[in-house]
Amino acid sequence: MSEVFLMFVKVFVVGGIICMIGQLLINLTKMTTARILVTFLLAGVVLQAVGLYQYLVDFAGAGATVPISGFGYLLAKGAMEGAKIDFYHAVTGGLVAGAAGLASAMAFGYLFSVIFNAKSKEN
């Protein structure tokens, strides 16, 4: 029981720190949200390329993989695994690694749009 609770705490703290960094970038800089998103994505790629992001994933699990930096980590990890095979797999490795998550997001997005009747906001 205490192991599960400790894992929840790790996930919450690491995910919270990542989100806090994003909020600080919004509040203290003139960066747009799109640039912050790309910065986090590239940070995940770079940290995985130098071998640091895997330690964060091993420590915090979903706290490190759910934010957008986790998607960058996934792309880099897939490309690095594919590079062990050949150049073709190095190029497509990131796409293969992220395919299940992206396909699920699109399928569930479509499913919920069919089930629920979305209404536009009136200003």
Domain ranges of the chain: 2-115
Write the single-letter amino acid at 103.
A
Give the per-residue pLDDT at 66: 84
- Average pLDDT value for residue range 53-82: 89
pLDDT in tens, 84-111: 999 888 888 888 888 888 888 889 989 9
Calculate the average pLDDT of the chain.
89
Give the pLDDT score at 123. Answer: 61
Angle separating helix axes 68-83 and 53-60, nearest 10 degrees:
120
Alpha carbons 39 and 120: distance in angstroms, whole number: 31
Decide: 78 and 97 in contact? Cβ < 8 Å.
yes
At position 19, the amino acid (one-letter code) is C
- Within 10 A of 97 (CB to CB), how many other CB atoms are there? 20
